[in-house]
């Protein structure tokens, strides 16, 4: 009895396969008979997939084979869902049925992202336009498929840049406004009080000078941020000691105010990079270590070899440290940091991360609350 049931099952399966092949064959006859249509399909630069009302693929052009990595024989007779990620399979048959009830020429999925899946399993974003043909064998649906991977990458980059620029502009404007208010206020106070004691006048002039330098540094970072978007630099040998000294010169006013103790743990060696950008990295790291170190600040600086021909540079302070939550967002883009302001960090460190990433390195921070921070970055080692 079981053997009979197995035979019947095989007969039913063969019957279903025969009916499927007949439907595909009937639909294909239109294309075989009309050489003009076949030639037209192959001349189209988009991928074209033709299906019948059952959702079975009856024709594809060479461009479709190139997009999905299949031969024509592998595709013909398969359901159209064969070219979609599995998460879309459940509802797709209903979409096909709905389309053939009232076929129109229209874009597909204008309100959501569409994806195709290649033979090797990789997914890629697509744009699909739908059309139809009325033939003696019934209605046929036509999908015109375009791989929009590069467009999506460009759109995502543009979106990210716009978010970053908005956050960057907001942060810079806020910082500059605060400093400028101080400069204008103290300058006005000096101007309106010509009889002010010399000692008091010098004190206020010192505050104005300090805030002016702060404004200059913010503007320098703004200009650097703008130039990084346009500039691709060639890696060259960089004297790290020289770039660090340039940063220390820019921080002279802060060093005289805070009187930090510097401890150099290792010889600062040369790397592959781009000098002006690396100077900015040292400037941000060292200035934060001085500003938010202990009293007095103790700043340790060193370097060490790491894997893959990279050198890690580190700057350790003796400040209050950072919580794990703060560390998690510290180097993030400004649009994330602005929702949780970390005094003295965020903007400068997001620039640091961008610089080091463009130079094929990485950044990191280690910290325990109450036990200071160790900021680091890696760059390529100079090889013979």
Residue 33 belongs to some domain of the structure: yes
- The DSSP bridge pattern shows strands 261-264 and 298-306 to be parallel
**Domain assignment of residue 156, yes or no:** no
Q: Which two tokens stand for residue 383?
A: 């090889």
* Cα–Cα distance, 160 to 376 (Å, whole number): 25
User: In degrees, to the nearest 5, what angle opens at C-alpha 94 toward C-alphas 140 and 125?
Assistant: 80
Residue 286 has pLDDT above 50, yes or no: yes
CA gap 286, 255 in Å, rounded: 10
Q: Mutual orientation of helices 347-358 and 149-192 as an angle, nearest 10°? A: 140
Instruction: Assess whether 84 and 105 both reside in one domain.
Output: yes
- Same-domain status, 220 and 134: no
State yes or no: pLDDT of 338 exceeds 60.
Answer: no
- Mean pLDDT score, 39-54: 85
Contacts of range 109-117, beta carbons closer than 8 Å, 24 or more positions apart: 115/84, 115/85, 115/88, 116/67, 116/68, 116/83, 116/84, 116/85, 116/145, 116/147, 117/68, 117/83, 117/84, 117/85
Residue 75 makes CB contacts below 8 A (sequence gap 6+) with 49, 57, 60, 64, 65, 68, 82, 83
In the chain, the percentage of residues whose pLDDT exceeds 70 is 78
202 and 302 belong to one structural domain: no
Do the beta carbons of residue 38 and residue 30 sit within 8 Å?
A: no
CA dist 30 and 203 (Å) reads: 92
Residues 226 and 255 reside in one and the same domain? no
Angle between helical axes of 275-291 and 198-230 (0-180°, round to 10): 140
Contact 51, 96 (CB under 8 A): yes
Task: Specify the pLDDT at position 282.
Answer: 94
Same domain, 206 and 245: no
In a domain, 296, yes or no: yes
Contact between 299 and 286 (Cβ < 8 Å) = yes
Residue of 109 and 133 predicted with greater confidence: 133
pLDDT interval class at 297 (50, 70, 90):
very high
- Banded pLDDT at 382 (limits 50, 70, 90): confident
Q: Cα torsion at 338, 343, 345, 346 (round to 10°)?
A: 0
Residues 226 and 314 in one domain: no
User: Which of 210, 230, 250 is the endpoint of a domain?
Assistant: 230
**What total of structural domains would you count in the chain?**
3
Category of 316 on φ-ψ map: left (φ > 0), alpha (ψ -120 to 50) or beta: beta
- Single out the residue in 115, 147, 179 at which a domain terminates: 147
Whether the predicted pLDDT of 200 surpasses 70: yes
Nearest-10 crossing angle of helices 198-230, 149-192: 170
> Is residue 215 domain-shared with residue 247, that is, in the same domain?
no
Out of 230, 258, 281, a domain closes at 230
Q: How confident is the model at residue 31 (pLDDT cuts 50, 70, 90)?
A: low
Query: Looking at the structure, do residues 236 and 222 belong to the same domain, yes or no?
Result: no
pLDDT at residue 71, rounded to an integer = 94
Mean pLDDT of the chain: 80
For the cut 60, the answer to whether the pLDDT of residue 20 exceeds it is no
Structural domain harbouring 209: 166-230
Distances from the Cα of 33 to the Cα of 38, 132, 284, angstroms: 9, 18, 72
């Amino acid at each position: 009895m079981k053997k009979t049931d197995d035979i019947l099952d095989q007969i039913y399966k063969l019957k279903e396969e025969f009916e499927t092949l007949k439907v595909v064959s009937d639909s294909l006859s239109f294309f075989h008979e009309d050489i003009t249509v076949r030639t037209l399909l192959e001349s189209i630069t988009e991928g074209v997939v033709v299906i019948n009302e059952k959702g079975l693929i009856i024709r594809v052009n060479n461009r479709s084979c190139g997009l999905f990595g299949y031969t024509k024989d592998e595709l013909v007779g398969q359901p159209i869902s064969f070219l979609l990620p599995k998460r879309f399979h459940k509802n797709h048959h209903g979409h096909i049925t709905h389309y053939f009830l009232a076929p129109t020429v229209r874009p597909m999925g204008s309100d959501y992202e569409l994806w195709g899946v290649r033979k090797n399993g990789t997914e890629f974003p697509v744009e699909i336009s739908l059309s139809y043909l009325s033939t003696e064998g019934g209605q046929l649906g036509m999908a015109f498929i375009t791989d929009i991977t590069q467009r999506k990458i460009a759109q995502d980059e543009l979106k990210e840049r716009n978010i970053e620029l908005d956050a960057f502009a907001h942060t810079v404007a806020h910082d500059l406004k605060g400093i400028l208010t101080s400069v204008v206020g103290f300058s006005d106070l000096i101007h309106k009080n010509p009889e002010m004691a010399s000692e008091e006048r010098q004190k206020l002039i010192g505050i104005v000078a300090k805030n002016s330098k702060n404004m200059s540094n913010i503007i320098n970072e703004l200009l650097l941020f703008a130039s990084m978007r346009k500039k691709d630099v060639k890696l060259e040998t960089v004297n790290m000691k020289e770039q660090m000294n340039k940063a220390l010169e820019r921080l002279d006013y802060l060093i005289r105010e805070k009187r930090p103790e510097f401890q150099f743990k290792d010889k600062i060696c040369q790397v592959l990079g781009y000098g002006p950008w690396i100077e900015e990295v040292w400037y941000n790291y060292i200035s934060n270590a001085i500003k938010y170190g202990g009293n007095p600040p103790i700043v340790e600086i060193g370097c060490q070899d790491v894997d893959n021909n990279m050198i890690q540079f580190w700057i350790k302070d003796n400040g209050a440290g950072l919580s794990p939550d703060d560390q998690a967002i510290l180097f993030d883009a400004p649009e994330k940091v602005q929702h949780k302001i970390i005094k003295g960090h965020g903007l400068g460190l997001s620039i640091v991360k961008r610089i080091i990433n463009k130079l094929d390195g990485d950044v990191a921070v280690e910290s325990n609350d109450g036990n200071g921070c160790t900021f680091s970055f890696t760059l390529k080692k100079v090889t013979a």
